[in-house]
Amino acid sequence: MKFPYNGVTIPEILLPKPGVDLSKWAVVACDQYTAQPEYWEEVKGVVGNAPSTLNIIYPEAWLAQGEARIESINRTMAEYEKEVLTEKFTGFVLVERSTQSGHRLGLMAAVDLEAYDFYPDAHSLIRATEGTVLSRIPPRVKIRQNAPLETPHVMLLVDDQNDLLIRPLYEDRGRMEMLYDLNLMMNGGRLRAWKVSSSIHLEAVQQALYYLGRLSGDLLFAVGDGNHSLATARQCWLQLKETLSEEEQLNHPARYALVEIVNLHDPALVFEPIHRLMMHVDGKGMLFKLNEWCIHRGLKLKPCMDGKGDCLLTYVDADGKLPLAIDGAPGELTVSLLQPFLDNWLLSHSACEIDYIHGEEALTRLASKVGNCGFLLTAMDKKLLFPSVKAHGALPRKTFSMGEANEKRYYMECRKIR
C-alpha cells in the first residue's frame, strides 16, 4: 500500500485497554469553555481518579497553573503509555459523532507537517483557514516538545462534494471492527468508531485521496479546528528536524500529526458565527468611526432593516439593535471588513477590550451593559471557505465556529511522537 499519499499517512493508534471507562477518558478540546473554569472543575469531578485525557492536556481555563502542570502531563503520558494505552493497531479510524446537529463523520489519519504551513500567503497542501496568533505558539511548544504522546482535537476539512473519502467507508462499516461506542460526558453526544485497516479499505482511501488531490489543485485540506495546535506541532517538528539526519527525518513520528478529517459538505457540520463584544468603549463614537473607515475605502455603511446588502451585521448596545449593511464590497466576508477596523481601534484605545462570543443571546446580553457594545455577525456560507482561502489566504481570526462548544472534538485516540 502506497502511503504517505497527498500528505496523509497511516498512523499507529493507541487506545485505552479494556476496562477503562471511556466516558471518563474522553474530554472536550482544551480551548473550549476558557471563560468558564467551573466547566472544567465539573469535568474534574466527573473524572475523579480514573484514567482520563484530562490528565494529559492543558485546558486553557487553567493556564495559570504554569509549567508544573506541563511536567505532570509528561509524567502521566509516560505512565499511560505503559499501563493504559495498551490497545495498538496501524490503520485509520472511522468516527461517527452524534450531536444536536446530526451525525458527523470523520476519518482519523496522520498528516505530514511538511505539507502544512500556517502563514497567510502559504500555498501548501494543508493550510490554516484563519489568522494564526504567533504569540500563542511558544507556550504550546513547551507542552509538546517533551511530550511522548499526542492526542488531537485538530479537525481538517476536505472539499469532497461527492463524498468519496468517508461515506463509502461508513456504508461498509459492517465489515470493520468496532473500536468503541459511548456517550460523552457533559452533553457531548455519542461517539462511535471503527478500525480501517483492511487492504480493501486502505486502497479505497488512497484512491479517494488521489482523485480529490487532482480536483483540489494546490489546496486539499483546510484546518477547521485546532489550527494553533497544528501550528505548534509543525514548529516542534522544525526544531527537531535540525537535529536529525536526512534519513531520520523521513519517518520520524514527530514529522506527522494525528487529525480528524471531515467533509466540508457533511450536513452535520454547521458553521456558526462568532460575534464581537467591545468593552469599555463609547459605542456610538466607535460606530461613527466605522462609518469613516468604510468611506475611506470606497464602501458605504448604512442602516439595513430589510436584511439586504453585500455585508450584513447588527450593532448592539444598551439602546438596542441596529441592523447594518456595508455596501460596495461584493464577495467580501463581513468579518474581513470589520476585524481590521476593530484591531486598529484597539491599538489606539488601550482601555478598550474585545471578546469573541458564541450565541446571539449571550452577545446581546453582554453588549447591552453600559460601557459595552457589540456586533452580531451572520454565519459564513461554508461553501465559500475553500474559494476564500485560495483567493485571499487565511481568513481573519474567529471568522466561524464549527458547531457549539459541546460539539467540538473530544480527545480519544493517542499516538506516539517520540
- Which residue intervals of 84-198 are DSSP H helices? 137-144, 167-171
Report yes or no: 100 and 403 within 8 Å, Cβ to Cβ: no
Determine the Cα–Cα distance for residues 113 and 8; give it in Å rounded to an integer. 10
Quick check: 16 and 22 in contact, CB under 8 A? yes
Mean pLDDT of 17-37: 94
Report CA dihedral (230, 236, 238, 241) to the nearest 10 degrees: -130
User: Which of 1-5, 107-111, 217-221, 268-272 is predicted least confidently?
Assistant: 1-5
Q: What is the pLDDT of residue 2?
A: 59
Residues 6+ apart with CB under 8 A from 223: 118, 126, 127, 128, 129, 154, 155, 156, 157, 230
Q: Averaged over 233-239, what is the pLDDT?
A: 97
- Identify the band that residue 311 occupies on the pLDDT scale cut at 50, 70 and 90: confident
Name the pLDDT band for 4 (thresholds 50, 70, 90): confident
CA distance 331 to 307: 16
pLDDT for 330 beyond 80: no
Calpha distance 206→195 (Å, rounded): 16
Indicate if the pLDDT at residue 350 is higher than 90: yes
The mean of the pLDDT values for the chain is 94
106-130 pLDDT per residue, tens: 999 999 999 999 988 889 999 999 8
pLDDT for residue 33: 87
CA atoms within 13 A on the CB side of 255: 20
Dihedrals phi, psi of 327, to nearest 5 degrees: -90, 155
Tens digit of pLDDT for each residue in 68-97? 999 999 999 999 999 999 999 999 999 999
* C-beta contacts of 4-7 below 8 A and 24+ residues apart: 4/112, 5/206, 5/209, 5/210, 6/115, 6/125, 6/209, 6/210, 6/212, 6/213, 6/220, 7/111, 7/112, 7/115, 7/116, 7/125, 7/126, 7/220, 7/221
- Most distant pair of Cα atoms in the chain: their distance: 65
Measured N-to-C along each axis, helices 283-296 and 334-348 cross at an angle, to the nearest 10 degrees, of: 120
Averaged pLDDT for residues 296-300: 95
- Range name among 1-5, 16-20, 162-166, 358-362 with the lowest pLDDT average: 1-5
